[in-house]
Amino acid sequence: MKIYKYKHFVLPIFISALFCALFCAPLLAQSLAELTGGKTTLAGNSPALEQEKIEAAKAEEAKQAKDSSGATASLSVSRLPDIKLNENIITRSVMNYSVQSGVLAADKTYQTGGVSTALAEYEKEAAAATDSSAYAAAQAALLHLQNGDYKKALTFAKEATEIEEHNPFYQLVKVWVLSASGNYKQAAKEYENLLFLTADFEYISAAKLALISAYFHAKKTAEAMSLLQNIYANDPYVISYAAYLMARINFAGGDYQVAQTLFEQALNHDNNNYMALKYLAQAQQKLKEYVSAWQSNASLFILDTKDSKIAKNLKTMTKFLTAKPIDYLFYTRLDEIYTKKPDELGGEPVRIGLFSDYNGNLTQIESFNFLPGSSFSIEDERLGKVISGEAFTPKTIVFDKEHQGVHIQNKWNNSDFSTKRPFFIKLDKPGYTFLVKDVKAQNIFASNLGDKELEGSLLVIPHEDGMTVVNYTTLEEMLPSALMSLSRGVKTPAALEALAIALRTRLVAELANTKGFIYDVPDNAPNLQYGGVNMESEPVKNAAINTVNTALTAEQGGLKVLSAPQIYRSCSVISEDGVRNTAEKIDYSFSPANLFKYMISNPPKDLISAPQDPTLWAPVKWIYSMPKTEIEARLKQKHKIGSLKNIEPAEFSPSGRVLKVRFVGSKTSVALPFKEANFILAAGTLRSNFFFFIPFNNKKEYLFIGTDSGLGEGLCIDGANGMAEAGKTRNEILKYYYPNLEISKEWLQKKLPS
């Protein structure tokens, strides 16, 4: 990695390591009791002792479950132990994902977005007194729960438990329905009843999660905190959400210091926890830590630049900054050109739109400095070459708003040339680099305005309100930096090379669709950031060089054609294209109940994408809470549907990933694709489209429980790294994730220019 210096910085919440360097105190050696001045304690039991209790209880249950003739009798009424953390327990799923034939048609209807029709079909089957009745009643209960009709949800939850009184899942559904409706007293009783039916960690932990939310919204602080301490200590997968709720309780009680620490810890364990960051900003402001509060608000504002409350907070706290606001943002600052050895990696020509926002739109630039690593020339679109210069001769490019043109200034701020036309800045020596520095834009939050070291040439296009800047380079020059942004945390050469081949193939495939645009790829897309050649490391550069011109192809009409492979960050067991990311086979079939089961279940211990530390499994299993007011505010930015009445899935993939979300308003409704829905639901911070949501507190708060990241298609980066660490080669990894594609070097060699 090249060395560069930083000014004060703030960071979007999806980059964990740097965020923690800024905000997070070291908490691992600090107990919860220390954080709260002895007000709370962390409880835990010996895993071996707990396992012994469980096995003894199960043995007693099995003994009493048989009568003298060997027929199955009623379950024992002895209460099973409320277990504590045990790594052997939490990594073993006990969920049954089978479906019943009587509701298959309803499952299919629900999958295509027919919520009301499917609900009627489930209700009909529940009343039919068949083998599927209890199962259908549970499905109806869950759908009524999602609709916020708690009364009907409870009716069907009770019906399911009455038909099959010893089924722990139906009892769990009842606990969730009562908890979401705010009936915490009855929910607590049903939770106790669940303990007579099962000691399995997944059921108990999920029930505690529901009851905690009920207590929290009912402002039953002592009850909520007692369970929170337990789940905080015993369930590593929900530690971020537990820390967040404990922080909220302390914040409401005026203990802002403890709240700040716990909000930071919530973000440390899951940096996508949007509401944790939002409350952290408020806690910092209460503690008069105005610079940190400004930075936290800036991170939030980057995610939603139309949030008027955040904009107001930024304006209020700007007066406490002692430098320019832009100097408090995380932007790379480069003092010199670091590439000492020019190289020409070649490859397909690529035009990179610089300083784009997260939707791929280019920011209007007001000015920037240009520092060349070799002699250079500036060519006007109509006049040709107008300026020549020597290496390391700086130029400042300034937009003139009054005349809607551009001035090219020397180091004395005198204009060497002015134009209203597009122009190129070109180096005379191939393989050398140049710096684009000190970029200024009217909206400093619209894009990452950090310095970049670039190869190739620069196209500057004047517009009415500023300039857009495009870097003309090649695919192989771009690939190492792009790979660096995509492969954070991946170090194994085999995984990096597999990812390099997949990324190269995808980029080349996309170039065919951009010929009518002024640029091919933006530098700041959510799944791909291009920081320049300064943002490279030796491992990623070696991965690019070792796979040069290698791509993935598919057979089509007897010909080899370039594929467009998908890539995503972290995988759970079930991927959208059928790849199993664990040796433990899960017989999963889609239905509302199975989707809910899958979200509350624990990842298996042999998941190849799993981090070693289960408290950092947020990319595999995550939980977020989002107020209705937040969702409604973002919805109103583009869609005038009246007050928000309901949220429902409008379309699922075959495995249950949410493809569209329907927002039902008092005036009309709108169904939106996941990308847009993700912004409305959580400012774009839902990790994936594989989730289940439940409205709490009379639909004032929505709880999202999800798994993995991205869209679950193609190569899983964390999974590829896990395979590489297990000794798999790059070709074996690619064949695993793309079984129907071929690895080809000849295809690109034939297609690319020499």
Could you give all domains of the chain from N- to C-terminal order, each with its CATH number?
101-318 (1.25.40.10), 335-546 (no CATH), 592-707 (no CATH)
| Encoded tokens for 469 | 């800047």
Alpha-carbon distance of 46 to 205, in angstroms, equals: 18
Alpha-carbon distance of 439 to 368, in angstroms, equals: 4
CB 297 within 8 A of CB 499: no
What would you measure as the largest C-alpha separation in the chain, in angstroms? 102
Residue 5 has pLDDT above 90, yes or no: no
The secondary element (H helix, E strand) that includes residue 353 is strand 349-353
CB 432 within 8 A of CB 341: no
Q: What is the pLDDT of residues 132-190, one digit of tens each?
A: 999 999 999 999 999 999 999 999 999 999 999 999 999 999 999 999 999 999 999 99
Q: What is the pLDDT of residues 661-685, one digit of tens each?
A: 999 999 999 999 999 999 999 999 9
Q: How many CB atoms lie within 10 A of CB 247?
A: 26
249: which residues sit within 8 A by CB, 6+ positions away? 216, 221, 224, 225, 228
Query: Pairing relation of β-strands 567-568 and 715-716?
Result: parallel
**Closest C-alpha to 716, from 524, 583, 572:** 572
Q: Where is average pLDDT lowest: 4-8, 430-434, 502-506?
A: 4-8
259: which residues sit within 8 A by CB, 6+ positions away? 247, 248, 250, 251, 279, 283
pLDDT attached to residue 311: 95
Q: Where is average pLDDT lowest: 41-50, 472-481, 510-519, 621-630?
A: 41-50
CB 180 within 8 A of CB 216: no
* CA-CA-CA-CA dihedral for 680, 253, 262, 572, to nearest 10: -40
Alpha-carbon distance of 401 to 252, in angstroms, equals: 48
529: which residues sit within 8 A by CB, 6+ positions away? 448, 482, 485, 523
CA–CA distances in Å: residue 336 to residues 371, 454, 470, 486: 9, 12, 21, 25
pLDDT attached to residue 92: 63
88 confidence band (pLDDT: 50, 70, 90) = low
| Encoded tokens for 409 | 């200034």
Alpha-carbon distance of 641 to 593, in angstroms, equals: 30
Q: What is the pLDDT of residues 199-234, one digit of tens each?
A: 888 999 999 999 999 999 999 999 999 999 989 988
CB 562 within 8 A of CB 509: yes
**Closest C-alpha to 85, from 195, 239, 223, 265:** 239
Instruction: Please report which residue ranges of 237-373 form alpha helices under DSSP H.
Output: 239-252, 256-269, 274-286, 290-303, 308-318
The percentage of residues in the chain with a pLDDT greater than 90, rounded to a whole number, is 68
Alpha-carbon distance of 480 to 477, in angstroms, equals: 7
CB 508 within 8 A of CB 551: yes
Q: What is the pLDDT of residues 26-82, one digit of tens each?
A: 222 233 223 333 332 223 333 333 444 444 444 444 444 433 333 333 333 444 555
Alpha-carbon distance of 663 to 669, in angstroms, equals: 5
- As a whole number of Å, the end-to-end CA separation of the chain is 30
CA–CA distances in Å: residue 97 to residues 93, 164, 308, 587: 11, 17, 45, 6
Q: How many CB atoms lie within 10 A of CB 479?
A: 26
Alpha-carbon distance of 239 to 231, in angstroms, equals: 8
**Closest C-alpha to 115, from 98, 140, 150:** 140
Residue 372's SS3 state is strand
Is residue 239 left, alpha or beta, with left meaning phi > 0 and alpha meaning psi from -120 to 50?
alpha
pLDDT attached to residue 696: 97
The pTM of this model reads: 0.85
Alpha-carbon distance of 143 to 122, in angstroms, equals: 10
pLDDT attached to residue 9: 34
Q: Where is average pLDDT lowest: 3-17, 21-35, 256-270, 305-319?
A: 21-35
Residue 241's SS3 state is helix
Residue 706 has pLDDT above 50, yes or no: yes
Sign (positive or negative) of CA dihedral 707, 710, 716, 722: negative
Alpha-carbon distance of 201 to 295, in angstroms, equals: 39
Q: What is the pLDDT of residues 526-551, one digit of tens each?
A: 778 899 999 989 999 999 999 998 99
Residue 300 has pLDDT above 90, yes or no: yes
Q: How many CB atoms lie within 10 A of CB 685?
A: 23
